[in-house]
Amino acid sequence: MSKKAVVLVTRKLPDAVEARLERDYDARFNSADRVYTSDELVEFSAGADAIIPCHTEKLTAAVIERLPDSVRAICSFSVGFDHIDLDAAKARGIIVTNTPDVLSDATAEIAMLLILGAARRAHEGEQQIRTATWSDWSAIGGLGIQVTGKRLGILGMGRVGQILAKRARGFDMQIHYHNRSRLSPDIEAGAIYHGSVEQLLPQCDFLSLHCPATPETERLMNAERLGLLPDGAILVNTARGAIVDDDALIEALRSGKLFAAGLDVFNNEPDIDPRYKALDNTFLLPHIGSATRETRDAMGFRALDNLDAITAGREPPDRLA
């Protein structure tokens, strides 16, 4: 019998995923689900053939350079890969994979929830009930912005953006988008393409971010670009916090330039900028875009499909490096 490959699993994963890992691999689990430091990542990788990290593990060039030679693959339990330095992995001949497609529906659901929650001031209403400060129904209290029929701008019309567009059409929203390349008319399904971010922004009553975090998109939503949104617009982010300049967004929320923001992702999670929590016009979630039972199982199985291919000497389906 051939020896099972050794796999470092950096976070606690769903039961079904850990059961498959246990069956097929010599897996090192993290049952306490503690986020490892960089030093621990390197130390616990000793003798491992592969690592299954989440986006919480920062596999920077410095960390990858220190990984033991035994590590041949990093199969991330995530679609995003801004936590992994692909060039450093390539330089060391380490294969890197992610889990595209399987979390698009769940993430689009959270984007829709943020749109609705931010527009209808869900957090303030919830708080009134929970703190027993709801005095009575009022004809003029708790007024939000109606979502139905408004213009939704989608920045990054990939898998999640396309599903969000479908869901938003159920609210009769008019879809505008910017993407690196224009989609074919059948996929566009009537959505209006704008050739630049700057052209898109003035058309958005709502703006939803769906581009990856890269050096090009870091702080893309800065003061200048937020200023191009119509007054009273709503911004939602389910992509990555790095796309937003926190100072600029907080100022736009404080000044009333924006009516509200719905955020599921932040810079420096989980120690996010405390000013967001002090604002009434924010609807905040703790990075739960992909957090459904179905999706987290599917992400784990997808990561394992990639690992299975690599250990069998085949090309993995979702290779990044």
176 is catalytic: no
Q: Count the site residues for ligand DGY by CB under 6 A.
A: 8
Residue 260 region by backbone torsions, left for phi larger than 0, else alpha for psi between -120 and 50, else beta:
beta
Residue 290 interacts with ligand DGY (CB under 6 A): yes or no: yes
Decide whether 6 or 288 has the Cβ nearer to ligand DGY: 288
Decide whether 78 or 208 has the Cβ nearer to ligand DGY: 78
Residue 59 interacts with ligand DGY (CB under 6 A): yes or no: no
Strand 282-284 versus strand 258-263 pairing type: parallel
| 3-class DSSP assignment, residue 150 | coil
Residue 237 interacts with ligand DGY (CB under 6 A): yes or no: no
Distance CA 245, CA 275 (A): 13
Residue 103 interacts with ligand DGY (CB under 6 A): yes or no: yes
Cβ pair 202, 74 in contact under 8 A:
no
Query: Tokens 């396309």, residue?
Result: 162
Which of the 8 DSSP states describes residue 144? -
Q: Which of 10, 78, 162, 217 binds ligand DGY (CB under 6 A)?
A: 78
**Residue 190: how many CA atoms within 13 Å on its side-chain side?**
10
Residue 178 interacts with ligand DGY (CB under 6 A): yes or no: no
Decide whether 54 or 209 has the Cβ nearer to ligand DGY: 54
- Give the H/E segment covering residue 306: helix 293-311
Residue 80 interacts with ligand DGY (CB under 6 A): yes or no: yes
Residue 177, beta-bridge partner list: 154, 193
240 is catalytic: yes
Q: Which of 11, 20, 55, 178 binds ligand DGY (CB under 6 A)?
A: 55
Residue 306 interacts with ligand DGY (CB under 6 A): yes or no: no
Which listed range, 76-84, 87-95, 109-117, 135-143, lies at the site for ligand DGY (CB under 6 A)? 76-84
Decide whether 36 or 259 has the Cβ nearer to ligand DGY: 36
Distance CA 150, CA 174 (A): 6
Interacting residues toward ligand DGY by CB under 6 A: 54-55, 78-80, 103, 289-290
